[in-house]
Amino acid sequence: MIAGCNSELDGQRLGTEVPPPLSMNPMRPIFTAIFLLAFLQAPRIAAACSPCDDALSLVATAKRADLVAVAVRLADDKPVDGGPSYITYAPFEVRRSLKGTPISTRILVAIEKGMCYSGVEVERLAPTVLFLEQHGSRYTVVRDGCAVRSLPIVNDRVVLSDISLTVDTFGIELGLLQSPPRAKEMPIVLGILLLCSVAVVGFVLGAWIGRRAFR
């Protein structure tokens, strides 16, 4: 208390005023705004680069995809003319479509899209099953990669984690292709067709004989 009085008296003697202690209250709104902005932006940045917590299953990926196709990569990826440099596309040749209709036999598929996006990773000329979403004249992997992106094909068989299937069987199991009649069902189908044919022939023959009899 005495030291404070002496300091105030010294200031009066020198003809100057002693400034009051600096208060942090005027700075609080600024710090609050900075903290709030950082809090709002942090989840978006983290979500963009965080791994997928709820990646789609193979069946769910096929249902969501606009195009499920057997394709081969033709060249390296690069930005498209007039597009941003951080988005690169690679050309693919569609050999067969299991779902959807491609815009052309050759399509552009996104490979890189910014820092945290990763598209299909396949070697050139390697047959692959692609699961794609269409965006205008180009394609990306389903759900920005939070799904099955591609499956390799080796010796004309789609390779899964523990088994391999023919392309036809793979499409049928996913509900993308219709299954042909089973071998056990073929005799029954043929028998029904034969009976229908006999009935039609009998009806026509009976009508013709009846007409002849009344003449």
Where in the chain are the domains?
Answer: 58-173
Vertex 31 angle, CA 29 and 37, to 5°: 100
Residues 118 and 48: their CA atoms lie apart, in Å, by 11
| Bigger pLDDT: 112 vs 150 | 150
Q: Distances from the Cα of 104 to the Cαs of 12, 28, 155, in angstroms? A: 89, 59, 25
Q: Can you give the pLDDT at residue 130?
A: 98
Tokens matching residue 4: 């404070």
Specify the pTM: 0.63
Winning range, highest mean pLDDT, from 5-9, 159-163, 201-205: 159-163
CA distance 156 to 151: 12
Domain 58-173 belongs in CATH node 2.40.50.120? yes
pLDDT recorded at residue 106: 98
Location of structure tokens 């988005």 = 87
